[in-house]
Every structure is written in structure tokens, then in C-alpha cells.
Structure 1
Amino acid sequence: LQSRYNLSDEAVEYQILDRMSFMRFLGLQAGDPVPDAKTIWLFREQLKAAGRMEYLFKQFTEFLAANGYAAEQGQIVDASIVAVPRQRNSREENRQIKDGATPEEWQDAKKRHKDVDARWVKKNGKTYYGYKNHVDVDVKHKFIRGYAVTDAAVHDSQVFEELLNENNSSRDVYADSAYRSAESIERLAELGFREHLQRKGCKNRKLTTWEQQGNRTRARKRSRIEHVFGVQAMMAGNLILRCIGMIRVRVKIGLRNLAYNINRYALLVTTG
């Protein structure tokens, strides 16, 4: 509920008390004790400590397959940037953080409010600070079948193979030109996948008419993943995460991905 409606811990507590729909979803009745903001925070912390977020996501993925929504017709791989509040660090502090060190002058209280795992990245002329949500989506149903969380500076192609879903009914793999390299094409062939990676021209070699047509054909399938990111942005209001550190961010992004899948399942069940 928190991820679906982009609510703070305090707002979740209030909405459970105020909305019968929230209570029904949680199996609560009038007069039942309601989890307070501290309990909701503690639940996420326990997920983090136990490393169970991936397990929860996998359980729902298995539920989908058992209920007629197995991964079909190929898969699309892409990544979205998830921003966090920008840090106001000096150049020397940023240098130390990039080297994997924490500035010695930071007191414990200051450390708790500093995200040393997030990184800067530039995309389409804009600068972002945060993380990336790398996802694998099946073509037919548009469910997220797998995900990986990295800092924003990690190139999309670095987690390409990790995301590939062996359980998809088709061996077709769609991705944009960021994933295209001689190594990735060779690896896909070794794993038995059919590559449908966008081609990119360069200064000394423009794309042929045939290659441009191929890109347009692939783009029609690949664009389905933009629906996933669009719905997540709509559900979140914005994609800024207000938590600190890779471990907590993995839980929050994992919950967002799970919330998307639950929302998608409810939509498909009700609309057919």
C-alpha cells in the first residue's frame, strides 16, 4: 500500500485508520489494532536485515505463473534512474566517497544522513544522483520478472545477463542500443537467446535503410517496457526515494517493483 500510493510511514498509519478499503486489503476489521508508523518502518528494517525482499518478489512471480500469467512471447530489459536527495559534499568528500572511504571528519550523526552508495550520472543532458532499477519484463503480460539495483553510475549492460529470464516461453530478447556489443551478442547466442538489440549508427557509418526498419520493428516491442516505468512513476508521484544507503534502497525499489506487479495483476484480472 505504501509503495502503491507513495505514502510516508505516518500517512500509511493514518490511511489504514481512515479507509475501509485499506483495512479490507490488510484483513483488518473495525476495532482491530492497526500497525503504527514505527511498526511499518520496523517491517522494512526486518526485510532488510533478513534479506527477504527478493524472496517475497519471487513468491509473487511463482503465484503469477500458477495463475495463468507465466512469462511469454519474449523479454525486454531496460533500466530507470531512481533519484535520491542530492548530497551537499565538498569535492574532497566526494573523492573519498568514490574511493570507497568515509570522510574522517564526519561524526556518527552526520554519517546517518549521508548516502555514500548513491552516484551521479548524466542522461540526455540532465544530471541525476541516485540508483538504477534494472528490470526484465515479459512481452505478453508486462510483468516485472526480475530486477537488480545498482548505483546510477553502473552501465546498463553490466547486469544484462543477470536479468535474463530462462523461464520465458520465447527465447527473444529485446533491449536498446546501450546493451549492444559484440560480447553481449555472442553471450546471448551461447545461452540460446535470439537477440533483438537496437542498432546505433556512428559518425563514420550511418544506419542503412534495412537497419533503420529493423530498429522500428524492434522498438514496437521494446516500447512496452516504457509502460512499466510510466506506471511506476504515476504510482510514486515521483521516483525520488527518501532513504539512505544501498541496502535500504534495494528494499524500497523491490517493494515498488512488487507493488507494480500486484497492481498489474489486479488490472488484468478485472479487465480480462
Structure 2
Amino acid sequence: MKLQTLAMAADQDSGFEQPRKPSRREEFLQTMDAIVPWAALCQVIEPHHPKAGNGRPPIGLERMLRIHFLQHWFNLADLACEEALYDSASLRRFAGIDLGRESVPDATTLLKFRKLLHEHKLGEALFAKVGQQLQERGFKVNTGTIVDATIIAAPSSTKNADKARDPDMYQTRKGQQWYFGMKLHIGVDSQSGLAHSAVVTAANVHDKHLLPDLLHGNEQRVYSDSAYASQKPLIRGKAPQAKDFTNQRPRRCGVVDETQRSKNRNKSRIRARVEHVFGVVKRLWGFGKVRYRGMHKNATRAFTALALANI
């Protein structure tokens, strides 16, 4: 029988506070606790996770994974996450931490776990495992794909120790404005809105070059914006049965083709579903800017964020 400490009783409001309405954060965490396939995701990481030996016993894998997901959901750096766990009872309950028995994992421990995911490319593995779990539950990705890309900004300043920008990031122009950073290219199912493929590149790589990598091959339709116009050979090479529903440029020689504009508007009603994924990852979870230096570290974060967005 597990004994309840005073700290755990206080966290659970057991006689110390009046009953109250659960906050949105608590409701969100309760939902995630129930629907995330923890056992399957832990199996992906377990072969690489430290084992108990002669040194200090490692913190449990599921607890570290839960804390790592908290960092994504609430856009927390390592030290900020450590402090938030001490400060918030709801976060501690989600992570299974009882301050009466143990302390919160420190920022260095969280950093080492994140490096473990990066070194073994486990962000991509988690993304693939979530997709597999969703398909086993009945979600299908075989009718149509929406492809799109978004820019993740990086610091362009050279006021740092190296006196240089991140060498993995590049600049690109969109409209009349220049951006510096990387690009996240994704393929999203046109019915369910689930991301089934993703590629991370520097910002100067044109969207169309990654088109074949974002298709699974069984599409009946492919939707995209005008950046992917005139790419029927690329689509046919990867998905022979797919029809091209790419938006075409309606303006030619200064004249607007209203018929083409109307067709684009109809296509965009479906194509807009890809923006929901970007909205969750960039606006809700704060991945509009890179947090780390180097492409691969940010790619691990991007794949993990997409896996969580699918959930």
C-alpha cells in the first residue's frame, strides 16, 4: 500500500482547500494523461534510456517523457520547467512527482534527456509511432494530402560568442520581406487534418523541392498553394493516381482571371486545414522561433511537436 505524504495530500487538495472548478490547464493535462499512448512511446525510447547500475539510479522514463512533453505544451526552457514544476501542483500531478518523497529533476537532467532524443533521432521515431498508433485506432491517410511549408525564425544577430549567425540557418525572401531561419515542410491528410510526413530544411530551400518527400503515394488528390504550381511531374512520380489540386496564379500580364480565383478559393477551403497544424505548433506552443542552435536539435523539437499536435 502506497503511503500518502503531506505534500501529496496538499497537491490533491485533500482537506486543505475547498473544492473548486478545475482550471483549463488541469483539464488539458487530464485529457493528455488519458489519450497519450505512454507505453508505446516509452518503448521507442527505452533501448537508449540509461539503465540502473552502480551510479545514481536514473529517473523513470515515463516521468521524463511527461516532463519533456510539458516543455513543449507550455513552451518552457529547462530551468523554467524545473521552476514551474516546483510552483505548480497540477504539473507535478501530471508528472507523478511527490515533493514529500523526491525533488523535481533539475535543469541539467532535462537537458540530458533532450540530448538523448536528439542524438538518436527519437523525435522522428516518436512522430512515426504516433502515426502508427492513430492508424491502428482507425485513422486513415489514403485519400488526399495537403502540402505546405512554414518558416521558423532564428536570431539573425551576430552579437554572440561566435560573432556569427547559426551556420545551419539561411535567409529567404517572402513577398517584400526577408526572413532568417529554417523551414518546416509537412504533409497533412485532407480529411483528418493529421500530419503524416515532415521534413526540416534551411529557409532558402524552395517548397517544391520537398514535394515528393511529403506524399505517401496512395493519394487521390494533392492540395497546395501556388508555390507548388506546375509540379505535376513530381506529383505523378510519387503518387500516380493523384489529381493535382494546386492553386494556380490567377494574375497574368496584370489581368486577374476571376474564374481561376474562384477555383483557388474552393481549393483553399480544404487546403486551409494545414494551417491548423501550424497554428498549434507555432502559435499555441510557441515554436515560431527556434530555441536551439543547429538544425538537428530544432528538427527533433519539430517532429515531437507534430506528434503531439496529432494527438
Place the TM-score, normalised by the shorter chain, in its bin: 0.7 to 0.9
Q: 1:110 aligns with which of 143, 148, 162?
A: 162
Unaligned runs of 5+ in 2: 1-69
Alignment partner, residue 197 of structure 1: 246
Q: Equivalent residues in 2 for 1:119-158 (5 A)?
A: 119-158=170-209
Unaligned runs of 5+ in 1: 90-105, 263-272
Shift of 1:72: 5.5
The residue identity in structure 2 corresponding to 1:241 is V
Query: Structure 1, residues 103-137: CA drift from partner, whole Å, max 9, x if none?
Result: xxx9xx628x7411100111132221100011111
Q: Which has the larger radius of gyration?
A: 2
Q: How many residues align?
A: 239
Sequence identity of aligned pairs in percent? 32
Q: 1:187 aligns with which of 234, 240, 246?
A: 234
Shift of 1:204: 2.9
Query: Structure 1, residues 173-216: CA drift from partner, whole Å, max 9, x if none?
Result: 100111112xx202323422221100014543745443222211
Q: 1:233 aligns with which of 261, 271, 282?
A: 282
- Indicate conservation of the 8 Å contact 1:175/1:198, yes or no: yes
Structure 1 residues 64 and 28, CA, compared in 2 at 3 Å: closer, same or farther?
farther
CA distance in 2, matches of 1:130, 1:136: 20
CA distance in 1, matches of 2:250, 2:276: 26
Alignment partner, residue 21 of structure 2: none
Alignment partner, residue 85 of structure 1: 155
Q: TM-score, normalised by structure 2?
A: 0.70
Structure 1 residues 15 and 123, CA, compared in 2 at 3 Å: closer, same or farther?
same
Shift of 1:59: 0.5
Shift of 1:239: 0.9
Q: Choose 60-69 or 233-242, whichever is displaced more.
A: 233-242
Residue 58 (structure 2) pairs with residue 11 (structure 1): no
CA distance in 1, matches of 2:143, 2:74: 30
CA distance in 2, matches of 1:143, 1:19: 31
The residue identity in structure 2 corresponding to 1:15 is A
Bigger relative contact order, structure 1 or 2 (CA pairs below 8 A, ≥6 apart): 1
Q: TM-score, normalised by structure 1?
A: 0.79
Secondary structure of 2:162's aligned partner: helix
CA distance in 2, matches of 1:114, 1:215: 39
Structure 1 residues 24 and 166, CA, compared in 2 at 3 Å: closer, same or farther?
farther
CA distance in 1, matches of 2:165, 2:172: 18
Structure 1 residues 33 and 64, CA, compared in 2 at 3 Å: closer, same or farther?
farther
Alignment partner, residue 50 of structure 2: none
Residue 104 (structure 2) pairs with residue 34 (structure 1): yes
CA distance in 1, matches of 2:75, 2:225: 29
Alignment partner, residue 59 of structure 1: 129
Shift of 1:41: 1.2
